[in-house]
Amino acid sequence: MTYTPHGKHLIAGEWTLADTTFRSDPAHGPSHAYGEATPDLVDRACQAAEDAFWSYAETTRAERAAFLNAIADEIEARAAAITALATQESGLPQARIEGERGRTTGQLRLFASHILNAGYLDIRMDPALPDRTPAPRPEIRMIQRPLGPVAVFGASNFPLAFSTAGGDTASALAAGCPVVLRGHHAHPGTAEIVAEAVQAAITSCGMPAGVFSLLQGGGNTVGQALVSHPLIRAVGFTGSLRGGRALFDLCAARPEPIPFFGELGSINPMFLLPEAMAARGEAIAQGWAQSLTMGAGQFCTNPGIAIALDGPEAEAFATAAQAALEGVGAQVMLTDGIAKAFRQGRDTACGVGGVQTLAAGTRADGREVRPVLLKTTAAIWAADPALRHEVFGPLGILIIAKDADEMLALARDLEGQLTCTLHLDAGDTVLARRLMPVLERKAGRLLANGFPTGVEVCDAMVHGGPYPASTNFGATSVGTMAIRRFLRPVAYQNMPGALLPDDLRKG
């Protein structure tokens, strides 16, 4: 099955032409023209979302679940065409796209199943106590209610699972909120075909037309217009710290500030404890190399640094990691811009005094890169902020701490992270217990004897963390708790049953 993009925006059920266009820049295959969004189109999409909210927010949980499942069905019906187009645009291999498509439909179905149980609404009821002294108590009931229209920004590194019908869109729709989606310029064709799947589900389920709109292009002007629009009530974003912080500041500066749920990246440190290193350091090094280079290192959970104690085990680990990384060939990055930024980050880190380059990663150009492995001391790493910044791509830094106290000091000095990992054996428990209270304050997900790439979509998952990993430490963008971002609690005091939301009245 082939698909030829038409380059139109989707607004309130209609595919709309634009006056100006931009061209896609695929890793391979043909380029196509797409309409450039404008602030006027943003306004039309937001108005349509607001109009849709009044009826969509009142749909039953069963109706929304059927809608989410229908979107998943429509995506699977276009599976071959989505795979062909997404691999061309992103340069990602077919197996990766097929796996990501399964994750996308899987999380849609997970949210559908989750909302059929009203537990996520956190319903609470306190009965009236008319005879209480010295004052009677009224009846009070509480339930979570949808916020309103949500703006979602597609991610560069996940053309499916964090983009058009990805986790932010799925969780907002599950909550009862319409979505205005800003497609990512790296994969506009993929955004378009998935939007067609969403529109088909809107039609088959009889949902209001404005419940989902797709806007493409338009640069910073359109992004700013979207987050600043007075009808948008929250924003979901996955991307760079610089871009995310700019949008976050816009949300905070609005006359009526709104929540910005930004996932902004992380260096995801791994702490290599001595007993584990002595027992299986080479295996850990090989696993680290595989995790670092998965998807050319273009994951927000890429484990960018590993911290070990000084000694022969650390030297053996460095040798094993170097050998594993030097065996990895050139890999294609998602865009020319991402490849350029990777090289800039690599060159900056390599240029820091006291940093040793073990694997140089220089034998590639264009959109291709090779893995980089650096080594330095904890003191040098702590003294130079340039080493603490995420380098988006296959670059790892091995940091040598002179003792356990210096390892603990490094942990305390970390910024907020998505993940922190401990590689440990039973004999490492005492040191691990010293580290755990620190790491709990630093990250949203803690791992033991694993690698953080690969984020399970399930009830208990937390994909978020203290700033700068994300802009809201109490939220997650993966897992069923993601729905809570787009709900707010409302209490009803002595309210007649006929005026209560259905779920609260039944409760």
Dist. CA 221–CA 228, nearest whole Å: 11
Residue 115 and residue 205 in contact, taking contact as beta carbons nearer than 8 Å = no
Angle at CA 465, nearest 5°, toward 459 and 468? 150
Which of 300, 313, 406, 420 is an active site residue? 300
3-class secondary-structure state, position 453: coil
193, 81 Cβ separation under 8 angstroms: yes
Q: For residue 239, which of 156, 340, 183 has the smallest C-alpha distance?
A: 156
Which DSSP helix (H) or strand (E) runs through 289? helix 274-293
196 part of the active site = no
366: amino acid identity, one letter: G
Contacts by 161-165, CB closer than 8 A, 24 or more apart: 161/100, 161/103, 161/104, 161/107, 162/238, 162/477, 163/187, 163/190, 163/191, 163/194, 164/190, 164/191, 164/194, 164/195, 164/198, 164/214, 165/71, 165/75, 165/104, 165/108, 165/194, 165/197, 165/198
Q: Which element (helix H / strand E) includes 97?
A: helix 94-116
263 is catalytic: yes
Q: Check residue 71 and give left, alpha or beta (phi > 0: left; psi -120 to 50: alpha).
A: alpha
Compute the distance between CA of residue 266 and CA of residue 439 in angstroms, rounded to an integer.
Answer: 14
d(CA 372, CA 374): 7
Q: Which stretch of DSSP H or E encloses residue 332? A: strand 331-332
CA torsion through residues 173, 178, 184, 188, sign: positive
Q: 294: which 2 tokens?
A: 């998965």
Angle of CA points 159, 163, 169, to nearest 5°: 155
The one catalytic residue in 263, 313, 390, 406 is 263
Residues with active-site annotation? 263, 300
